């Protein structure tokens, strides 16, 4: 059985390295006590090297990456990440799309750069609005453009996150998603991937859920929703709750 994937997305938190190391230590201790879970901490750039040096059971990833090195002020390239031992990154998170104007074409360049060089992209896709039970075609378009030109042989390192923006608690008029809706999204995304690469490859790509994940709803998304894991935002900054999420995932 494949391990459940639990990814902490710290966003622009915490304020100090001391606090980052304290948070990570709780996750490390919890991961040592369970089986069947792969835990990743996606942290701000200043904390990546210290975290990677400290953590043994928990992996460390970036929250974003750029596809090249050169005259790109403020960007951090895949080469720089790889050279400090970081081999995975979130790509296309809704907040990058919203606040930084990141497009599907930019997401595609980032994914291609990582996959071509043996790194792991954690691709986020999801709709901003939902009416009814149908998953909008915009999610399929995000997937198709993000993966354009990607060879089948690269996909063993890909993780897809379904992230319904309307369910994120920090968004206006947010409302909680349900395991049933998450399962619909899983089926839809799997169908799009099957059309692009065939069913065998599509079935091997982990699809995880992101969107106001907490200790109270994680079990439903993993069991009834059939998700391979979760991208955890605010709850990953609450040590006791994140430990509980890891423990629940180990039993799912």
Q: What is the per-residue pLDDT across 41-74, written as a single tens digit (0 to 9) for each?
A: 999 999 999 999 999 999 999 999 999 999 999 9
| Mean per-residue pLDDT of the chain | 95
pLDDT for the residue numbered 134 = 85
Cis bond leading into 14, ω under 30°?
A: yes
Write the CATH number for 156: 3.20.20.70
Q: Which of 9, 2, 1, 54 lies closest to 245, judged by CA?
A: 9
Low-confidence ranges of the chain (pLDDT < 50): none
Reported pTM: 0.96
Q: Which range marks the domain in which residue 102 is found?
A: 4-251
Number of compact structural domains in the chain: 1
pLDDT for the residue numbered 156 = 94
Which residues are the active-site residues? Answer: 93, 163
Q: How far is it between the farthest Cα atoms of the chain? A: 47
Residues 234 and 7 sit within 8 Å (Cβ to Cβ): no
pLDDT for the residue numbered 132 = 74
pLDDT for the residue numbered 167 = 86
pLDDT for the residue numbered 170 = 74
pLDDT for the residue numbered 1 = 57
Cα–Cα dist 148/164, whole Å: 22
């Amino acid at each position: 059985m494949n391990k459940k994937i639990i990814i902490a997305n710290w966003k622009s938190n915490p304020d100090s390295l001391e606090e980052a190391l304290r948070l990570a230590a709780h996750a490390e201790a919890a991961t040592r006590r369970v089986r069947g879970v792969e835990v990743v901490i996606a942290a701000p750039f200043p904390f990546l090297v210290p975290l990677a040096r400290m953590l043994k059971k928990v992996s460390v990833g970036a929250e974003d990456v750029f596809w090249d090195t050169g005259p790109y002020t403020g960007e951090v390239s895949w080469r720089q990440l790889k050279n400090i031992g970081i081999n995975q990154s979130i790509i296309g998170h809704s907040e990058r799309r919203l606040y930084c104007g990141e497009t599907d074409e930019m997401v595609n360049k980032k994914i291609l750069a990582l996959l071509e060089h043996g790194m792991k992209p954690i691709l986020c896709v999801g709709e901003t609005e939902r009416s009814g039970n149908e998953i909008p075609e915009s999610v399929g378009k995000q997937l198709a453009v993000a993966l354009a030109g990607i060879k089948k042989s690269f996909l063993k390192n890909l993780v897809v996150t379904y992230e319904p923006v309307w369910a994120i608690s920090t968004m206006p008029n947010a409302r909680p998603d349900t395991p049933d809706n998450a399962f619909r999204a899983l089926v839809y995304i799997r169908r799009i991937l099957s059309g692009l690469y065939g069913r065998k490859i599509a079935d091997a790509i982990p699809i995880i859920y992101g969107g106001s994940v907490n200790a109270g709803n994680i079990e439903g998304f993993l069991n009834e929703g059939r998700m391979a894991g979760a991208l955890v935002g605010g709850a990953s900054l609450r040590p006791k709750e994140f430990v509980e999420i890891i423990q629940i995932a180990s039993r799912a």
